[in-house]
Amino acid sequence: MIDPASIAFDIDDVVADTMQLFLDIAREEYGETDLYSEDFTCYNLEDCLDLDPVILRKIFERIIDGDYSATLHPIDGAVEVLQRLADSFSPVLFITARPFAGPMTKWLPCVLDVDQKDIEIIAVGDFDKKAGILVERNISYFIEDRLETCFKLETRGITPVLFSQPWNRKTHHFTEVHNWRELESLIEFETRNPEL
């Protein structure tokens, strides 16, 4: 069981449904109607999507900059579990490989409906820099969808929990969750005495 004080989260495709946002931008802004979530079979999308690399790069830039009219939705169940977590321990820590937190600093507290002070977002700009911050912050568990990052974290003594996505369906030995309900069941929330 995971202590709420010892857990941190990736954002894209763990908390935020960034894959769906990518599909929405591709369809609405670039007329790419023939892309499906099942096509996202690898993390480097140029290797698995039948999409012009220039358009691919533009969509990524727009996502990072928050420059889109489509709506970024949270992944099912994330809001409830993260609110519960923020109730028992705060700030809840998020570490993203984005180069800057940018639009996430507004999006995250807004969708979670929590105070800005109850969450902390650190943008490290590089997948390999996540482990250092986690060690510094004394975090033992990290929820991540990029399998390569999980292996890296493990070498630094962090226990990764893999959030299942189409691009991480490969052999591994990590704890894996398929949704936020499963993740919730791994966290040791305080049981409050109802009479108090």
Q: Footprint of Mg ion on this chain (CB under 5 A)?
A: 10, 12-13, 145
| Residue number with CB closer to Mg ion (24 or 130) | 130
Sign of CA dihedral 71, 72, 76, 80: negative
Cα 14 to Cα 81: distance, rounded to the nearest angstrom? 12
- The H or E element that residue 79 is part of is helix 78-88
Residues 31, 33, 38, CA angle at the centre, nearest 5°?
140
Closest CB 195 distance from Mg ion, rounded Å:
42
* Of 88 and 172, CB closest to Mg ion: 172
Q: Which is nearer to Mg ion, 32 or 163 (CB)?
A: 163
Helix (H, G, I), strand (E, B) or coil at 160: strand
Q: What angle do CA 176, 105, 39 make, to 5 degrees?
A: 45
**Least distance to Mg ion, CB of residue 52, Å:** 23
Would you say 172 or 189 has its CB closer to Mg ion? 172
Q: How far is the CB of 10 from Mg ion (least distance, A)?
A: 4
Output the CA–CA distances (angstroms, integers) from residue 76 to 24, 65, 81, 136, 165, in the order listed: 17, 24, 10, 30, 13
Other Cβ atoms less than 10 A from the Cβ of 166: the count is 16
Taking the complex as a whole, the smallest distance from the CB of residue 105 to Mg ion amounts, in Å, to 17
> Between residues 12 and 32, which has the closer beta carbon with respect to Mg ion?
12
The residue with its CB nearest to Mg ion is 12
Q: How near is the Cβ of 135 to Mg ion at its closest, in Å? A: 19
